[in-house]
Amino acid sequence: MKISVFGLGYVGCVSAACLAKVGHDVIGVDVSPVKVSLINEGKSPIVERDIGEIIYDVVRSDKYAPGKLLATTDPGEAVRDTELSLICVGTPSNENGSLKLDYVRRCANDIGLGIAQKTDYHVVVARSTMLPGSVEDVIIKELEAASGKQIGIDFGVAMNPEFLRESTSVYDFFNPPMTVIGQYDEKSGELLKKMYHFLNAPLEITDIKTAEMMKYACNCFHAAKVTFANEIGSVCKSIGVDSHKVMDIFCLDDKLNLSSYYLKPGFAFGGSCLPKDLRALNYQAKSNDIDVPLLKSILASNKIQIESVIEKIVRSGVKKVGVVGLSFKAGTDDLRESPLVILVEALIGKGLDIEIFDRNVSLARLTGANKDYIDKEIPHISTLLTDKIDDIIQHADLIVIGNKAEEVAHVLKNVPDKKKIFDLVRVADSLDGLSSGYEGICW
């Protein structure tokens, strides 16, 4: 393939050189004559492991046909002579934390002017990290304005976030954890897949905004992991525990700790362990004069998740609410610190007419281990329990799905469209075919 790469910093330089290494004809584009001259001399404009040797090979070595990689300051020439352009320019922060997209805007304008001179279909791929909506609001608008042509007809657009770490970016380029392609149209996605023919990694085809958001989800999680480990380390040191031994053992757990478990958006956490243990560790840190802002923020954020649901239900204007699930998760009768109990108590306080279905809690009310808890702590709630799921459907104007009970499928099939469903746990993998009154807490 013939590919142009705009921006020859870390991402652009590595992308251009590695794509040339696997056999593509690549033109690197940059406003800096120094960077362009260095590459055309077979030298790297960045300090990065292995990249100097690769650039020398693809520019000057006899191992490759001449012209696998060259650089220019002329964007029009680069677009005219290629079929796909990668935008790899910087997106630094403004003082208020917003992104400075001037370089992206200018780059898209330059590419658009080049597309104006072409008759064949050209695909523009954003690799620069940008907030969701940036491709649509900045890149596509600039391309259409500068080219005088229409997206999806004359040119295509895709988002392809990079997962390159400085110092290991060459290795990361050839061994990505996944390849994400957010495509405007199928033609653009197929051409990008062709460009990556050499990769052996999971491939996800999605929409552009999802692809834009992916990079932020990843980077924010990485930042949270570093901060979490540091705060655990600070607490460990204050009590004479080797934090590296703790975290080495922590990382052995790939069922819960280092896994997809707990990483699905939904309702608040609860139960007899997580809230109690967070409070205890925060108390320990405070007692030892250790500041752990991340750990302190977790319970506060959890409370906000509950309050947002209460507010949404009250704001809906309904008076009759049915709740499916009362224990903190399905398959148990444990009501200790259940966020659903907190939710129901708040709705009762707001004057709403509540009915609840939870088969396990109903049994526990009669003979279970939690009978005393129910009788002493929440007798006012236990009287609202019904043994029939259909009672909930008939009673409520809005049904809250609080956990993944077996009976939820019956609810989804039998609730009339005029009634609302508020799902806190994403009970259905696909949202297709659900009633018009369906809404998810985070989706």
Which pLDDT does position 66 carry in this prediction? 56
Question: 386 and 406 in contact (C-beta within 8 Å)?
Answer: no
What pLDDT shows up at residue 63? Answer: 67
**Within-domain flag for 253:** no
Predicted pLDDT of residue 368: 64
Domain assignment of residue 83, yes or no: yes
Q: Note whether residue 216 is domain-resident.
A: no
pLDDT tens per residue across all 443 residues of the chain: 999 999 999 999 999 999 999 999 999 999 999 999 999 999 999 999 999 999 999 998 776 665 699 999 999 999 999 999 999 999 999 999 999 999 999 999 999 999 999 999 999 999 999 999 999 999 999 999 999 999 999 999 999 999 999 999 999 999 999 999 999 999 999 999 999 999 999 999 999 999 999 999 999 999 999 999 999 999 999 999 999 999 999 999 999 999 999 999 999 999 989 999 999 999 999 999 999 999 999 999 999 999 999 999 999 999 999 999 998 888 888 888 999 999 999 999 999 999 999 988 876 666 666 777 777 878 888 889 998 999 999 999 999 999 888 888 888 888 888 899 999 999 887 778 788 899 999 99
Active site residue 273: yes
Q: Both 307 and 194 in a single domain?
A: no
Residue 97 resides in a domain: yes
SS3 content of the chain, % helix, strand, coil (to 5): 45, 15, 40
Instruction: Please report, as a single letter, which amino acid is at residue 148.
Output: G
Last residue of a domain, one of 142, 173, 207: 207
Q: Is residue 332 in some structural domain? A: yes
| Domain count along the chain | 2
Q: What is the model's pLDDT at position 67?
A: 62
pLDDT score, position 412: 86
Residues 41 and 178 in one domain: yes
Q: Find the CATH number of the domain harbouring 156.
A: 3.40.50.720
Task: Give me the residues paired with residue 401 across strands.
Answer: 324, 423
Among 153, 174, 207, the domain-final residue is: 207
Q: Is 344 part of a structural domain of the chain?
A: yes
197 and 307 housed in the same domain: no
Q: Which of 151, 172, 207 is the last residue of a domain?
A: 207
Spatial neighbors of 421 by CB under 8 A, at least 6 apart, are 398, 399, 401, 411, 412, 415, 434, 435, 437, 438, 439
The C-alpha atoms of residue 222 and residue 243 are separated, in whole angstroms, by: 19
Domain containing residue 82: 2-207
Instruction: With beta carbons less than 8 A apart as the criterion, state whether 145 and 133 touch.
Output: no
Residue 271 lies in a domain: no
Q: Which of 13, 236, 251, 273 is catalytic?
A: 273
Bridge partners, 72 (sequence order): 29
